[in-house]
Amino acid sequence: MRIHSPLPDSNLGSGGSHLLAYVKPWLSWSDQLLPLINRGLVVKDRAAAMEFLSHVNYYRFSGYCLAFERTRHEFMPHTTFEQVRKSYDFDRALRDLVTEALAMIEVDVRTTISHYFGKRHGAFGHIDPTNFFASAPHKQA
């Protein structure tokens, strides 16, 4: 099946575009798992692996596979789907912790700034343009 997608072509000059053929076929979860297995990934529970791929996406998962490859598209011996999945799960958990910490830091910084600003300029100090640097745009709505 050929699908054509309009993409800009730098060879056509400014504003030019043409259709490029996309020839990769649609693959079932099982068919997405096969290349990983053929590259040496050990998959003990295919149903669980397909379930995981159905929620995460093959391309997102394959990015985590890179750290487990000896050469491109060749897994180190005895690498399991679960090892790669644990790497993904760790990254997700770490990202969630960092996001939560950043949110707490953001609230803390905003609170500190607003408290200092309010103490110095009063509860409505934000509506007085003289309380800001001249270079910052400050218009009344």
What confidence tens digit (pLDDT) does each residue in 70-116 have? 999 999 999 999 999 999 999 999 999 999 999 999 999 999 999 99
Domain boundaries, the chain: 3-8+19-122
At 21 the pLDDT is 82
At 56 the pLDDT is 95
- DSSP, res 44: S
At 113 the pLDDT is 94
106-119 burial: b if 16+ Cβ within 10 Å, else e: eeeeeeeeeeeeee
At 9 the pLDDT is 52
**Whole-number mean pLDDT of the chain?**
88
